[in-house]
Amino acid sequence: MGKNKNIKCMLIMLFLFLCGGYSFATEGGGQASANGPEGTMGGTLPPPGVYLLNYLEYMSSDRFNNSDGDSVVPDFELKGFAEILRFVYVSKKQFLGGNLGGQMIVPFVHMNVKTAAGEQDKTGMGDVEIGLFDSWHFKNWHFAFGPELFVPVGDYDEDDMVNLGRNYFTFEPVFAFTYLSDGGFEVSSKFMYDINTENKDTDYQSGQEFHFDAFTGYHAGPYAVGVNGYYYKQVTDDELDGEKYLDGNKGQAMALGPEVKYDYKNMSFNLKYHHEFNVENKPETDRFWFKFVYAF
């Protein structure tokens, strides 16, 4: 593919990206499920009760990469802020030896995008995620599994450049685990696989995606310190009008960064940073996270 044609294709992808949702590969570089929110103790669901988790995320990018990892959108700049509310209920009812529960995740997002062609921004609610889970606890091991569903209720208009909703459903099975040794060494990971339905307004079918968040580190008293990161890989092609789009428009990204957590009474406070690399067909971003957990 020649350089001019390559740039033209990436500008088309950028337009589709701006019509995508929060957290950005697939249709124009966007995805339903955020990369990187979970870290330390990410596979450990709490005892029966009601919990509020509040995630604050700031993300920025100054490059949109193609399939070779080259920046191809002139004067590209993205800045976004999100407050993500996650309501979790863990019941005393057991199934297969684990505690059943459910959750709902509601994101509120502000996005600003600049290119050589202009600037647009939007603020509002994104798509809502609902899910069920079963969770198990052993001496040093903790596990959780369950299905998630992203419901397209976020603001979307195919004529707008910036949208906060994806305008299609996404089904996501999730498996997570945590190993915490008696000496305080921890390894945690949360694995997700996204199956997207078709966007009926654009006739665009986003490919299926595999991604996971991971953490390794140590606990000392109320503190946990370590390295957090994520891996994202689109595994099937995008389709437009039933045909393969471009070269499949398969996104990928990796990220690493530090993480620290502090527990206090019935609360916890978590701070971390992610720097992305090996990014293809999507914006290359830096992310700052602050997570607050409250047990009622």
End-to-end C-alpha distance for the chain, whole angstroms: 57
Q: Which residues contact 182 (CB under 8 A, 6 or more apart)?
A: 140
The token duo for 117 is 């062609």
Under the banding of pLDDT at 50, 70 and 90, the label for residue 28 is low
The token duo for 99 is 């505690």
Q: What's residue 261's pLDDT?
A: 98
Q: Has residue 95 got a pLDDT over 60? A: yes
Under the banding of pLDDT at 50, 70 and 90, the label for residue 50 is very high
Q: What's residue 34's pLDDT?
A: 87
Q: Has residue 14 got a pLDDT over 90? A: no
| Assigned fold of 3-295 | Porin (2.40.160)
Q: What's residue 19's pLDDT?
A: 40
- Where exactly are the structural domains of the chain? 3-295
Under the banding of pLDDT at 50, 70 and 90, the label for residue 29 is low
| pTM (whole model) above 0.85 | yes
| Residue 166, Ramachandran bin (φ over 0: left; ψ between -120 and 50: alpha; else beta) | alpha
Q: What value does the mean pLDDT take over residues 59-80? A: 91
Q: What's residue 118's pLDDT?
A: 84
Q: Which residues contact 124 (CB under 8 A, 6 or more apart)?
A: 108, 109, 154, 155, 164
* SS3 per residue for 25-41: CCHHHCCCCCCCCCCCC
When mean pLDDT is compared across 10-19, 101-110, 185-194, 204-213, the lowest value belongs to: 10-19
The token duo for 245 is 């789009």
Give 230-242 pLDDT, tens digit per residue.
999 999 999 999 8
CB atoms within 10 A of CB 158: 11
User: CA angle, 183 as apex, 226 and 230 as ends, to 5°?
Assistant: 25
Q: Alpha helix (H) ranges present in the chain?
A: 3-18
When mean pLDDT is compared across 21-35, 208-222, 249-263, the lowest value belongs to: 21-35
Q: What value does the mean pLDDT take over residues 69-96? A: 94
User: CA angle, 150 as apex, 13 and 232 as ends, to 5°?
Assistant: 50
Q: Has residue 24 got a pLDDT over 80? A: no
Q: What's residue 119's pLDDT?
A: 87
Give 105-145 pLDDT, tens digit per residue.
999 999 998 888 888 899 999 999 999 999 999 999 999 99
- Enter the DSSP assignment of 207: P
Q: What's residue 26's pLDDT?
A: 63
Q: What value does the mean pLDDT take over residues 253-263? A: 98
